Amino acid sequence: WQGIKFLGEGFSARVGLWEYSDPDPNADVPGGFRQIAVKELKTTLRNPSFYDLHREADTLTKLRQSGSPHIVHLLHNPGPVGANETLPLGRWDNVVRRIFLEYCSLGSLYDLLDRRIKLQASHSLIELTIWRLFDCLLDGISVLDYGNELVPDGVTNEFYTPQLRSKEEIVHFDLKPANS
């Protein structure tokens, strides 16, 4: 694997793009993804256990059970960093420091809108495009709230969830286009 580029950062973590770099173009790629996003806690954190990525990995695993294409794949179940006698890690002991995620090649919703605006500076977004973006956001939020995307009933045209996982409310406290 080879680091390709820095994708972004927040208060506690940064994300980079990594690419599988086997010289044989026909080689099997581990996990089937040639490019992945790696999210890593910053080493400057005073209390890394507070920002442990284990909770985020657990949440992504639960959300993926919906099968929704609007939820990013967690590609590998992470393990905590472990200290031993030869490697004292202190505050990093037992903290999940990295998670490996599906790489979204079109970027965030913010990136998508920004590109669209620059390409069509003289044209406004057409209504259909806005509705499609809204529909994708609604599908993702439905998975957070109901455990699955809402689907229309062919007869009544009302929406329902085909199956409900055990009800556990999930709240995204930092919902903004750059995080979508």
Mean pLDDT for 53-74 is 87
In this predicted structure, the answer to whether residue 83 has a pLDDT above a threshold of 60 is no
Give the angle subtended at the CA of 101 by the CAs of 96 and 104, to the nearest 5°.
150
Q: What pLDDT shows up at residue 87? A: 45
- Weakest mean pLDDT among 43-47, 69-73, 92-96, 111-115: 92-96
Q: Which of 12, 16, 22 is nearest to 4 (CA)?
A: 16
Q: What is the pTM of this model?
A: 0.74
Q: What pLDDT shows up at residue 81? A: 58
19 Cβ contact partners less than 8 Å away, ≥ 6 residues apart: 1, 2, 4, 34, 35, 36
Mean pLDDT for 141-149 is 85
Q: What pLDDT shows up at residue 179? A: 61
- Weakest mean pLDDT among 18-32, 114-128, 131-145, 158-172: 158-172
What is the pLDDT of the chain when averaged over all its residues? 79
Mean pLDDT for 60-76 is 87
Mean pLDDT for 105-115 is 84
Distance CA 171, CA 173 (A): 6
Model confidence over 123-142: pLDDT tens digits?
A: 777 788 889 989 998 998 88
Q: Tell the burial category of 101 from Cβ atoms under 10 Å away from its Cβ (0-12, 13-18, 19+).
A: buried
Q: What pLDDT shows up at residue 170? A: 73
Please, what are the domains in the chain?
A: 1-105 (3.30.200.20), 106-180 (no CATH)
- Weakest mean pLDDT among 39-53, 116-130, 156-170: 156-170
